[in-house]
Amino acid sequence: MDFDPSNYFQFQYVSALFSLLIFIFWFGYWSLHLIAIIYGSRKLHRKVKCNVEADSLPGVSIIKPLVGVDSNLISNLTTFFFLNYPKYEILFCVHDASDSSLPIVRSLVEKYPHVPAKVFIGGTTVGLNPKINNMMPGYVAAQYQLILISDSGLRMKKEALLDMVMSMREDTAVVTQLPFTYDRKGFAAMLEKVYFGTAHARIYLTAHALGIVCSTGMSSLLRKSVLEEAGGIQAFGKYIAEDYFFAKNAKSKGWKCAISSLPALQNSGICSVTHFHDRLTRWARLRFAMLPYTVVLEPLQECILLGALTMPAASYIFGWNCAIFFLAHVFCWLFLDCVLLSIVQGYCVTCGQMRLLFAWLYRELSASSVFVRAAWNQTIHWRTATFRLRWGGVAELVQS
């Protein structure tokens, strides 16, 4: 076969172009690290300031959907009875009368009568989303125009509710807490802390800095009037990721979405590596269904894969040593992640801590497997049912 120079030069051109595009993406992604660090350092763990008289603060209805118990449920729920806020109510929504959380909730309501609290049992079926069905009676009974939807696995600092309310400006309809974790023992707990303080925080903070919709529903303060204009929370019952669509609806109406100064402290008594991976897989499937382009983009946001792809590109364009480039890439990424984790944590975290280093490395190496599992099928098991996700985030019930 005769050698065709045109084919060779065409191959060289395509290789150079492809390498250049990868390198530009790699170079540009570092800006996300910097945006998250700068925005997080300016936004998080600021001293909570109340600019109005306590009597002028709006009331807040806290809706707590509950299904089952874990070892930390009592201590988590107790923190909500001691918030430094003058006017709020707690609306506990229990899945059914046989739920094991019901006696605990009733005992807490009786033990702390100084906080108005009600217990609703059974929910109301308005769609496929079991969380919305569970919350419906509490939502209907809420007497205040600010609604805080708060998951059962969260602890709440005393000043956190005031912090969220003060972040609710006149032009804001959704205020969320940056998802993070309460200090717990064990490798799985460290793994969760590393993920929520680095990879998740990087995207969450950057999105809010750029005004992009990126909201999680584990701790969301919402304007009830904005929800009512959309038909109430029941209008979002066909979605599993109702938190994202709450924010998307508000954004489409011209409202802003914000984050508060204090992160959300996840403190579930169920903490294992398997449970952690199952959560990430479920969330990835939700994102893939709502935003299909994330199937390609999300894996490219991970340190190991992005470094491995950019390594030959940098060698092809600049002649750099692949091994040295990859190691420099990983160490720089680790350093910036430690900086961001320190900002989210509220105090300095050093990269030299072996448990932290091992958890970070394990998280990065296992990230690709999560995406493979998520992309393999669009069926998720959540709360009491199994769902199949459709494009656009709409769900259909497979098994209840």
Q: How many angstroms separate the CA atoms of 165 and 65, rounded?
A: 21
The catalytic residue among 163, 243, 278, 337 is 243
Tell me, yes or no, if 243 is annotated catalytic: yes
Q: Which residues pair with 396 in a beta bridge?
A: 388
Residues catalogued as catalytic: 243
